[in-house]
A = this chain, B = another copy of it.
């Protein structure tokens, strides 16, 4: 396993293909350092007693101990540990741990490449295993590029005026493919070793060119990263804090006619239209693993918010009031419910033919959805308990300025048992959570990341067997005679594959 320092050295060697505004910068630009500091946590604790059972796993390929973020889930326990690792590391970074994109991408690929091979006699799974071995041995950080620009949302990929609005294969060569298009809203690409591209949706019979998946180093030739970094003002007066060092970088990845060698191609409907239905399966499978990861990180987000809310309530001296207790309890309850959904989902996992475990879809989506629905309300609660001062806090310098610094600090005093410097730290910390540029990014990410509530609803309703559910009412109302035990069977995206296959049949 690498150390953070080794990871950073590797990044620094990469080609400069990052644009911040009109500037082209390297991986050592301080504006993207905040994101790296989040990834740092995924390296730093692998050998610590209290973290190592969560943060490492044994590779099923090599038997070696590896970073769990490079691991394929081979049991319910793997799923539970991935979820819990995501949660406890997210506490350390006050939110999204970012490296989940890699583990979710490789797990999705492990399932789908195997399925394709079984059905079509291809050798994607073998390719994937080679890639995975390389991935694990080098302890790589991956970004997963899923969301296409989509152009006109009412049209399918092949119907678009501009055919590049979904990433597509423009040529299949002997030794690889050439792809063109753009992926947006991609977290962490600027400091990931690798990017894995997967389709964003179901592809129909005429969308063959768009049924493509592959992996590339993130500084690969003609890959262009246009980034939006978000970070905090750092302390100049000795009031550093771990939270201040964190940040986020969102990326628009332009694939400007990029060549991908065969050994890194994992799906290609352009070469073989029979592969096309697997695009949707892969799209959903990545989304599904990612949503399951959210049942780890979103509870942590709620807990971080609850933690800050409880602290500021204490500092404001209102901790014991009943409305504060109610609000804290609501935050905690949301964390627990979302987490429980992920746990129950893991316990109801299905083992795919590849050996990879797939959690239950209804539960995973119900959990992720609740988190998304609640996110703005959670920020509201934190704002409510903090008071307006978090949006009106003078900058740090004022607290150290001649003539006014001491007075400014004096007037921060609240709970007399708390040092005003800590009150300052607390207000500044919450300012960063609620008001700073990065705060806004976190809110939007909390809503849309991994799919917005609307998407989870669609997924749930696409797979839930409503007809079966109706039997309960039919029985009670006297419309049907017998009611069989209704346990709601486990549901995973593999059902979808059958459906897609049928759709393909019909379209022929």
Contacts and interface: CB of A to CB of B under 8 A. Distances in A.
Interface residues of A, number: 160
Interface string A2-38: 0000000000000000011111000000000000000
A496 B472 CA distance: 40
Contact of A404 (B151, B224, B395): B224
Nearest to A51: B485
A271 interface: no
A21 B236 CA distance: 11
A251 B393 CA distance: 8
A247 to B, nearest CB: 13
A344 to B, nearest CB: 4
B252 A307 contact: no
Contact of A447 (B380, B407, B440): B380
Given A311-B474, A336-B362, A444 B448 contact: no
Contacts of A174: none
Contact of A307 (B153, B332, B400, B469): B469
Contact of A165 (B318, B411, B488): B411
B452 A398 contact: no
Contacts of A176: none
Interface in A274-313: 303-304, 306-308, 310-311
Contacts of A20: 395, 397-398
Contacts of A256: 407
B252 A392 contact: yes
Interface stretch (A58-66, A122-130, A262-270, A420-428): A420-428
A221 to B, nearest CB: 13
Nearest to A20: B395
Interface stretch (A102-110, A205-213, A457-465): A457-465
A47 interface: no
A1 interface: no
A384 interface: yes
B473 A22 contact: no
Contact of A337 (B321, B330, B340, B388): B340
A484 B413 CA distance: 29
Given A243-B478, A318-B153, A412-B149, A227 B470 contact: no
A475 B303 CA distance: 13
A329 interface: yes
A133 interface: no
Given A404-B254, A407-B254, A228 B395 contact: yes
Contacts of A219: none
Interface stretch (A111-119, A192-200, A368-376): A368-376
A379 interface: yes
A243 to B, nearest CB: 4
B477 A426 contact: yes
B21 A397 contact: yes
Contacts of A308: 472-473, 476-477
A328 B170 CA distance: 40
Q: Of residues A393, A394, A402, A428, which shows the largest number of chain B Cβ atoms within 10 Å of its Cβ?
A: A394
Given A88-B486, A380-B376, A384-B452, A366 B392 contact: no
A472 B398 contact: no
B478 A239 contact: yes
A483 B84 CA distance: 16
A328 B227 contact: no
Interface in A344-377: 344-345, 347, 362-363, 365-367, 369-370, 375-377
16 contacts: A91-B483, A149-B411, A228-B392, A254-B411, A308-B477, A314-B470, A325-B461, A329-B460, A332-B362, A332-B366, A332-B464, A340-B340, A391-B445, A426-B473, A429-B476, A435-B443
